[in-house]
């Protein structure tokens, strides 16, 4: 009898519990709560999918409810799509009889892919609402997306289904050559400020041609994309000084994810490559960020690469990697790079004045500046570093040592630092780093003093008049205007910025 009683009890409990189903709910009464009243999906380019955004819906009542419908106000024609607690509903647009337990929540994930013609012609905003229920119980959450028109540049598809490729350093990459008379885009070698440009794959400047970027041009690179300037071709970036934080006259290179969460993420695209044999490069007022290598300069030993008023941030490997090149740099700022902000290897000739080379990367091996006259695997392995001169510069970062001099006795190694602030952990007996007693290589050097930048985490490298770097420059190396176009006082401050009073963040 005991066994029958136990079986009866278990059966009764199972029967009672089985009566509790998802259908034991009441209709929603219009008292849902939402994590947001309006969901702002960040700016997207036309016909390019957005990131995914989350909306939380809460049932704060004591009863399980059924929401009769969750749908876009524009129905099946909406350019938005969503999933509701992992369900796709009708084409990701309409969901019926959605159960929400008492004191529980559900997740709605929202995306969009819209064309510029879908947006309001005056505001370029595309909007819709998510409607919960209807009639007296109707509740709505507004969706807003800014759609940007753009010029899209990408490899053509070959007849066999593969994509067009170009050759870089003996390897094939998806890419294409910019054309002066493209049937759709016209002159692709002139980047204007009329619309942003989005590049897929490598855009190559053909031999003998010059690509020009006008002041205010905006270029967005997709994953694994970049710009390569081929033999006898030239790069001219003609940005000018801006008057607002929008950098309206700056030329900007960055990844094509426009959401704020991507603002400081390195490695979203590859690099700007100045190939061996390319020539006559002039870069002015460029902001480049979130690449693998910012400027990759290869064997430019026949003409000078001029770089002025340029900022390079958040690169996986290098801000500038130069190989046996000639560079004249003024008012350059580089920060947050995985290996070195500036790396000049395999010899060359370099002159940097009023530059700020910082490295705030979180590793124990990164550098702000690396100089070397050798290159492993090259033939020959060494070449003369005929000159590496740094005037009125700041070389700093989070590591103990931010300057590396790698000499090979088989080639020349000529270097000089004048009126610079340098962070170094080198041994006091190392003959390469005798900052105070070696006038051939070092003059008026400030060692291991903090310049007190405004906010390195946000790439703000302004200094105050009280900074140890203020008024420590030499007039002989003066660049009259700083990176922002402000007049430098005498004696000048070190680095790319004229000092000013600011409130630290």
pLDDT surpasses 60 at 4: no
Domain assignment present for 462: yes
In angstroms, the CA 327 to CA 262 distance is 31
In angstroms, the CA 56 to CA 213 distance is 44
92, 125, 148 — which closes off a domain? 148
Please compute the mean of the pLDDT values over residues 289-306 and round it to a whole number.
Answer: 94
Supply the pLDDT for residue 13: 47
Domain assignment present for 321: no
Domain assignment present for 193: no
Supply the pLDDT for residue 301: 81
Domain assignment present for 301: no
CATH number of the CATH domain containing 41: 2.60.40.10
- The count of domains in the chain is 2
Reported as a single tens digit per residue, the pLDDT across 126-142 is 999 999 999 999 999 99
Structural domain that includes position 480 = 343-505
Q: Are 337 and 360 in contact (CB under 8 A)?
A: no
Domain assignment present for 283: no
Q: What share of the chain is helix, strand, coil (3-state, %, to 5)?
A: 10, 45, 50
Q: Are 375 and 352 in contact (CB under 8 A)?
A: no
Supply the pLDDT for residue 20: 40
Helix (H), strand (E) at residue 289: strand 286-289
Supply the pLDDT for residue 409: 95
Q: Are 182 and 154 in contact (CB under 8 A)?
A: no
Supply the pLDDT for residue 21: 44
In angstroms, the CA 384 to CA 326 distance is 12
**Contacting residues for 363 by C-beta, under 8 A, at least 6 apart:** 338, 399
pLDDT surpasses 90 at 415: yes
Instruction: Answer with the residue of higher pLDDT: 257 or 297.
Output: 297
**Contacting residues for 129 by C-beta, under 8 A, at least 6 apart:** 72, 73, 140, 141, 142, 143
Q: Are 376 and 406 in contact (CB under 8 A)?
A: no
Number of other residues whose CB lies within 10 A of the CB of residue 485: 15
Half-sphere exposure of 367 (CA within 13 A, CB side): 17
Reported pTM: 0.88
Supply the pLDDT for residue 122: 85
Domain assignment present for 35: yes
Please compute the mean of the pLDDT values over residues 481-487 and round it to a whole number.
Answer: 97
Supply the pLDDT for residue 502: 72
**Contacting residues for 170 by C-beta, under 8 A, at least 6 apart:** none
Q: Please report, for residues 326, 469, 475, 477, 494, the alpha-carbon distance to residue 490 in angstroms, rounded to integers and kept in the order given.
A: 29, 13, 7, 11, 11
Confidence of residue 503 (pLDDT cuts 50, 70, 90): low
Q: Percentage of the chain surpassing pLDDT 90?
A: 84
132, 148, 164 — which closes off a domain? 148
Reported as a single tens digit per residue, the pLDDT across 152-178 is 999 988 888 889 999 998 899 999 999
Domain assignment present for 143: yes
pLDDT surpasses 60 at 22: no
Please compute the mean of the pLDDT values over residues 437-451 and round it to a whole number.
Answer: 97
Q: Which of 11-20, 34-43, 196-205, 260-269 has the lowest mean pLDDT?
A: 11-20
pLDDT surpasses 90 at 145: yes
Instruction: Answer with the residue of higher pLDDT: 301 or 180.
Output: 180
Q: Which residues of 388-412 are buried (b: 16+ CB within 10 A; e: fewer)?
A: bbbbbbbbbbbbebbbbbebbeebe
Reported as a single tens digit per residue, the pLDDT across 27-56 is 888 999 999 999 998 889 988 888 899 999
Q: Are 451 and 495 in contact (CB under 8 A)?
A: yes
pLDDT surpasses 50 at 197: yes
Supply the pLDDT for residue 19: 41
Confidence of residue 17 (pLDDT cuts 50, 70, 90): very low
Q: Are 225 and 277 in contact (CB under 8 A)?
A: no
**Contacting residues for 160 by C-beta, under 8 A, at least 6 apart:** none
In angstroms, the CA 153 to CA 94 distance is 36
115, 148, 181 — which closes off a domain? 148
What mean pLDDT value characterizes the chain?
92
Domain assignment present for 196: no
Reported as a single tens digit per residue, the pLDDT across 57-94 is 999 999 999 999 999 999 999 999 999 999 999 999 99
Cα radius of gyration rounded to whole Å, the chain = 30
Look at residue 264 and give its three-state secondary structure.
coil
């Amino acid at each position: 009898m005991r066994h029958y009683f136990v079986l009866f009890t278990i059966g009764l409990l199972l029967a009672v519990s089985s009566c509790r189903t998802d259908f034991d709910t009441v209709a929603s009464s219009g008292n849902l709560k939402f994590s947001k009243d309006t969901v702002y999906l960040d700016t997207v380019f036309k016909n390019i999918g957005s990131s995914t955004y989350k909306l939380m819906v809460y049932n704060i009542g004591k009863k399980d409810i059924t929401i009769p419908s969750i749908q876009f106000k524009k129905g099946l024609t909406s350019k938005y799509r969503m999933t509701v607690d992992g369900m796709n509903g009708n084409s990701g647009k309409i969901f019926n009889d959605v159960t929400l337990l008492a004191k529980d929540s559900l997740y709605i994930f929202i995306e969009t892919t819209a064309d510029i013609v879908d947006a309001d012609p005056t505001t370029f905003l595309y909007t819709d609402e998510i409607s919960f229920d209807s009639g007296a119980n109707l509740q709505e959450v507004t969706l807003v997306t800014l759609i940007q028109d753009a010029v899209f540049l990408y490899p053509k598809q070959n007849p066999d289904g593969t994509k067009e490729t170009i050759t870089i350093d003996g390897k094939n990459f998806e890419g294409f050559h910019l054309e002066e008379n493209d049937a759709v885009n016209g002159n692709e070698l002139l980047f204007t400020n009329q619309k942003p440009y989005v590049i897929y794959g490598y855009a190559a400047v053909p031999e003998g041609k010059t690509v020009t970027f006008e002041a205010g041009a905006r270029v967005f690179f997709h994953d694994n994309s970049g710009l390569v300037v081929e033999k006898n071709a030239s790069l001219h970036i003609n940005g000018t000084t801006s008057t607002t934080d929008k950098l309206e006259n700056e030329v900007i290179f960055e990844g094509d994810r426009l959401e704020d969460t991507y603002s400081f993420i390195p490695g979203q695209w590859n690099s700007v490559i100045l190939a061996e044999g390319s020539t006559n490069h002039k870069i002015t007022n460029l902001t480049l960020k979130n690449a693998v290598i910012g400027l990759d300069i290869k064997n430019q030993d026949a003409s000078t690469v001029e770089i002025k008023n340029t900022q390079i941030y958040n690169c996986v490997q290098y801000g500038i990697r130069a190989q046996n090149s000639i560079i004249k740099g003024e008012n350059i700022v580089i920060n947050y790079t995985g290996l070195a902000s500036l790396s000049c290897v395999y010899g060359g000739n370099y002159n940097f004045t009023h530059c700020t080379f910082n490295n705030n990367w979180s590793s124990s091996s990164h550098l702000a500046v690396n100089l070397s006259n050798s290159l492993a695997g090259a033939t020959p392995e060494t070449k003369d570093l005929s000159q590496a001169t740094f005037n009125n510069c700041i070389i700093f970062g989070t590591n103990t040592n931010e300057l590396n001099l790698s000499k090979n006795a088989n080639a020349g190694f000529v270097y000089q630092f004048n009126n610079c602030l340098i962070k170094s952990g080198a041994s006091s007996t190392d003959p390469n780093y005798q900052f105070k007693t070696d006038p051939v290589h070092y003059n008026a050097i400030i060692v291991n003093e903090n310049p007190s930048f405004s906010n390195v985490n946000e790439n703000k490298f302004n200094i105050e008049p009280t900074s140890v770097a203020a008024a420590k420059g030499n007039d002989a190396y003066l660049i009259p205007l700083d990176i922002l176009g402000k007049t430098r006082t005498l004696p000048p401050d070190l680095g790319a910025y004229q000092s000013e009073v600011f409130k630290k963040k």
